[in-house]
């Protein structure tokens, strides 16, 4: 149930509604919007329906939410969520570019890439210290050493960074360093991990499970939001379809759909979607065209020697060229970068 308060509702009236909900063991999530406050009630539906909510002072209307996800739904929060990390705003109508190597391999590769993507216009650095690999014998990441290098690159190039966290036991460690935590496709349904990142105050990028529907994905976001962490960025990274010509299929339809369904910002990741270098730029531009809030791209100065995902990494020069075309398109569409 979503309780929409009147524009002039007082703090006391809001608190009264919260108290009534909590008295029946229901969670009350208060969302203060620009014009009005909305309260999301999560609990036993029948009990909530029995409360005379619309009769309480300050309440404009109580609307049952039929969707399985509630807190991340547009109904709960009419305006889009804007996330700010070290001065970079994501979801404010601008287009944010996140770029960097798939994994942190060495100081040299990380710094060379960070410098180049920063110069080309990226504002957030990516690079993982913990890698989810299909084979347990493949490079698994530099762990804390990688996080330390990322933190150094952040200072050197003045860019916040995002890094993946794979295990609930590592959430505090990664959150100590990273500006944004990332949950990868394989962990979208790892509810223990979602709950744990939900308890931090660090923004979370939640990638789409490669077989997940939009509804399942938004329910995964709900696990994070429910714990109190409202700063969630959705990343469409391709889903597994019958097509084998590319690694996955970038579901661009998901972007405008998510914009209707949810208030969370949406990025596209054309690198993990395609798995192929030459497909990255056209898919990135498609993301901008369908209304994504930004993109995330793997960049590597020597992809042939990359320890992870070399086949999809683009060169720094190719990234710069991509950014030039993004600039032209964004200007034509009236989207600030
Ligand atoms: C990544 O971004 O490096 C990654 C592993 O992505 P995904 O979880 O989407 O495969
Ligand atoms: Mn990768």
**Residue with CA nearest ligand 1 atom 9:** 185
Q: Across all residues in the chain, what is the average pLDDT? A: 96
Q: Is 298 in the pocket of ligand 1 (CB under 6 A)?
A: no
Strand partners, 103: 128
The rounded Cα 19 to chain-centroid distance in angstroms is: 32
Q: Which atom of ligand 1 is nearest to the CA of 208?
A: 9
Give per-residue pLDDT as tens, 236-293: 999 999 999 999 999 999 999 999 999 999 999 999 999 999 999 999 999 999 999 9
Q: What's the CA-to-centroid distance between 185 and ligand 1, angstroms? A: 6
Task: Give the residue from 193, 173, 192, 175 showing the smallest Cα distance to 183.
Answer: 193
**Residue with CA nearest ligand 1 atom 8:** 184
Three-state SS annotation for 116-135: HHHHHCCCEEECECCCCCCC
> What's the confidence (pLDDT) of residue 176?
98
Mean local confidence (pLDDT), 194-220: 98
Give per-residue pLDDT as tens, 43-97: 888 899 999 999 999 999 998 887 889 999 998 888 999 999 999 999 999 999 9
Give per-residue pLDDT as tens, 133-150: 999 999 999 999 999 999
> What's the confidence (pLDDT) of residue 198?
98
> What's the confidence (pLDDT) of residue 32?
87
- CB neighbour list of residue 263: distance below 8 Å, 6 or more residues apart: 72, 73, 74, 76, 77, 78, 79, 80, 81
Strand partners, 182: 164, 205
Q: Which atom of ligand 1 is nearest to the CA of 296?
A: 2
Helix (H, G, I), strand (E, B) or coil at 103: strand
Whole-number CA gyration radius for the chain: 21
Which range (73-77, 148-152, 177-181, 294-298) has the least confidence? 73-77
Q: How far apart are CA 280 and CA 269, in angstroms?
A: 9
> What's the confidence (pLDDT) of residue 44?
87
Mean local confidence (pLDDT), 316-333: 98
Q: What's the CA-to-centroid distance between 272 and ligand 1, angstroms? A: 6
Per DSSP (E only), the strands in the chain are 2-5, 27-32, 37-42, 59-63, 83-85, 88-90, 96-100, 124-126, 161-164, 180-183, 204-207, 232-236, 266-268, 294-298
300 — pLDDT class (breaks 50, 70, 90): very high
Dig out the tokens for 74 from the structure.
């547009």
Percent of the residues in the chain that have a pLDDT greater than 90, as a whole number: 93
Q: Specify whether the CB–CB gap between 195 and 11 falls below 8 A.
A: no
> What's the confidence (pLDDT) of residue 200?
98
- CB neighbour list of residue 280: distance below 8 Å, 6 or more residues apart: 270, 271, 274, 297, 298, 312, 314, 318, 322
Mutate to test the pocket of ligand 1, among 131, 246, 269, 274 (most ligand atoms within 8 A of CB): 269
Q: Is 187 in the pocket of ligand 1 (CB under 6 A)?
A: no
Give per-residue pLDDT as tens, 108-132: 999 999 999 999 999 999 999 999 9
Q: Residue 259: enclosing H or E segment and its boundaries?
A: helix 254-261
Q: Is 297 in the pocket of ligand 1 (CB under 6 A)?
A: no
């Amino acid at each position: 149930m979503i309780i929409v308060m009147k524009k002039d509702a007082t703090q006391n009236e809001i608190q009264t509604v919260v108290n009534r909900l909590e008295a029946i063991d229901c969670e009350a999530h208060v969302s203060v919007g620009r014009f009005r406050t909305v309260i999301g009630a999560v609990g036993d539906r029948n009990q909530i329906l029995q409360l005379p909510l619309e009769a309480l002072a300050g309440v404009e209307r109580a609307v049952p939410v039929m969707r399985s996800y509630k807190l991340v739904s547009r109904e709960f929060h009419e305006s889009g969520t804007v996330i700010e990390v070290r001065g970079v705003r994501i979801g404010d109508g601008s287009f944010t570019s996140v770029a960097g190597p798939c994994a942190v391999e060495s100081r040299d590769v990380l710094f060379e890439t960070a410098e180049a993507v920063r110069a080309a216009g990226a504002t957030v650095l990516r690079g993982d210290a913990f890698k989810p690999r299909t084979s347990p014998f493949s490079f698994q990441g530099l762990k804390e050493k990688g996080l330390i290098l990322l933190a150094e690159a952040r200072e050197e190039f003045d860019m916040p960074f995002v890094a993946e966290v794979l295990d609930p036991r590592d959430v505090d460690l990664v959150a100590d360093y990273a500006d944004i935590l990332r949950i990868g496709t394989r962990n979208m349904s790892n509810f223990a991990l979602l709950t744990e990142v939900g308890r931090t105050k660090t923004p979370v990028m939640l990638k789409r499970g490669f077989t997940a529907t939009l509804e399942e994905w938004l329910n995964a976001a709900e696990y994070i939001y429910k714990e109190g962490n409202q700063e969630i960025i959705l990343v469409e990274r391709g889903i597994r379809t019958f097509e084998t010509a590319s690694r996955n299929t970038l579901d661009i339809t998901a972007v405008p759909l998510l914009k209707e369904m949810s208030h969370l910002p949406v990025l596209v990741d054309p690198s993990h979607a395609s798995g192929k270098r030459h497909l990255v730029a056209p898919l990135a531009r498609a993301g901008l065209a369908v209304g994504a809030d930004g993109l995330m791209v793997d960049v590597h100065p020597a992809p042939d020697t990359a320890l992870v995902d070399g086949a999809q990494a683009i060169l720094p020069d190719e990234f710069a060229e991509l950014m030039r075309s993004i600039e032209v398109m964004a200007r034509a569409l009236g989207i600030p970068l």
